[in-house]
Amino acid sequence: MKKITRNNKVKQNSGSAVNKKWFIIIFLTLVLACVAFVFAYNILWKSNINTASGKYKKLYIPSGSTWQDVKDSLNAQGLIKSELEFGNALAVFARGKQPQCGFYSLEPNISNRAFINRLAYGLSNKLPLEVKMTRYTRWVARNISRQLDVDSATLYNVFTSDTVMHRLGVTKESSLAMFVCFKRDVSWCADASDVMRIVEQEDHKFWDGERIAKCNEIGLTPVKVTILASIVEEETNDYDDRRMVAGVYINRIRKGMPLQSCPTVRYAWGDFSINRVLKAHLEIDSPYNTYKYSGFPPGPIRIPSANSIDAVLNYEHHNYYYMCAKSDFSGTHDYATTFLQHSQNARKYQRELNKKGIR
């Protein structure tokens, strides 16, 4: 047998200690690697935003927002699964960056990193901006401000600024004529100047060469056509009848007769619930009272549709100067060349109103 000396025992014990030391080092390294992997996975790839709903969620980030504001907005909708992991991700990925204003459509199961980068680099979604029928420029500004992150007072001031009105050929009273109905995808963070640029682009697109040529042909500016179309649209929904109504008004204007339009009287009163315009209503002293004042009213009484504008541009040429709603309440009109004929049509219509108890 081989004799084991004391030196051999020391060497064996020393080797065993070294092996144990390396085992511990390797073990700790693996543990740290696992911890690092879990940490990285949690902040890089693990779904942490909008994990429970299974649906797209809307997130609006106003200008000047902080990451704490973002966190509060997410919490308000219950969209953060782990605030700790989100906080860790912010510390790593949001350093030196700020969330960008915008509307963000959040799909289900977004990782912290993907969400933070989306906001930090402003990868927002566009929203449809719609300008539709309304009666006052101030209301247009209000309606747009409800769709975008822009103040209505600021918008109104831009719309009615001297520079804009001069450029578009309108006055404060006729400023509603700068708007056409449209729907267009825009950034939720568009400011007042962005909105004004969009409004002008839509206006120029609508008033193309063909429509301008028709304006010149009938001797009316686009503003005057818009004013007339806004009245025509209030009279009837039927396109062919709109062309007839436009023809009546143009005949009266060319002859120097007042328009005598009931919709303008309702506008003058600011009461659009009036079903039957009575003599008392005609006493109001307003430039929109076209029974009292001849010519065009100062501005449109609403934003008219393209259909109504085209009805004016393509008005029916005839010899009628009077019109009255048909007694069958079809929404169209009876026409007359003389006041006597018109009076007969009016009495027939008034009898039906009385029968139906419309006051």
Domain of residue 93, CATH code:
3.30.1490
| Residue finishing a domain among 206, 235, 256 | 206
Please list the residues that pair with 59 across neighbouring strands.
Answer: 104
198-212 tens-digit pLDDT: 999 999 999 999 999
- Is the residue at 106 inside a domain? yes
Question: Would the pLDDT of 130 be above 90?
Answer: yes
Q: Distance (Å, rounded) from C-alpha 296 to C-alpha 253?
A: 8
Q: Report the range of poorest mean pLDDT among 27-41, 104-118, 219-233, 300-314.
A: 27-41
4 found inside a domain: no
- What pLDDT score was predicted for residue 1? 47
Does residue 264 form part of some domain? Answer: yes
Percent over 70 (pLDDT), the chain: 87
pLDDT(42) > 70: no
pLDDT digits (tens, 9 = 90+) for 325-359: 887 787 888 889 998 988 888 788 888 778 777 66
Show the domain range for 68: 47-120
Q: Span 152-162, mean pLDDT?
A: 96
The reply to whether 20 falls in a domain is: no
- pLDDT tens digits along 50-94: 777 788 899 999 999 999 999 999 999 998 888 888 888 888 888
Q: What is the pLDDT of residue 173?
A: 95
Q: Is residue 292 part of a domain?
A: yes
Residues 184 and 294 in one domain: no
- What are 325's strand-pairing partners? 333
Q: Is residue 159 located within the same domain as residue 259? A: no
Name beta bridge partners: 187: 126
The CA distance from 271 to 282, in Å, is 13
pLDDT at 142 over 70: yes
Q: Would you state the pLDDT for residue 14?
A: 58
Q: Tell me, what's the pLDDT at 41?
A: 56
Q: What is the mean pLDDT of residues 101-113?
A: 92
Whether 24 is covered by a domain: the verdict is no
The answer to the question of residue 256 being in a domain is yes
Whole-prediction pTM = 0.81
Q: Which of 187, 206, 225 is at the close of a domain? A: 206
Q: Are 75 and 190 within one domain?
A: no
Shared-domain flag, residues 248 and 175: no
Output b/e per residue, 150-178; b: 16+ Cβ within 10 A.
Answer: bebeebbebbbeeebbeebebeeebbbbb
Q: Which of 126, 146, 230, 246 is nearest to 181 (CA)?
A: 230
pLDDT above 80: residue 163: yes
State whether 243 and 339 are in the same domain: yes
Residues 323 and 349 in one domain: yes
Dump pLDDT digits (tens) for 8-25: 555 555 556 666 666 566
pLDDT at 27: 54
- Both 68 and 155 in a single domain? no
Tokens 């404060």, located at residue: 172
Does 86 share its domain with 192? no
Residue 9 resides in a domain? no
Least confident of 49-63, 249-263, 294-308: 49-63
Domain count, the chain: 3
pLDDT value of residue 126 = 95
Which phi and psi (to 5°) does residue 333 adopt?
-130, 155
Q: Among 21-35, 101-115, 253-267, 301-315, whose mean pLDDT is lowest?
A: 21-35
On the 0-12 / 13-18 / 19+ scale of CB atoms within 10 A, 188 is buried
Which helix (H) or strand (E) segment holds residue 263: the answer is helix 262-269
Same domain, 194 and 261: no
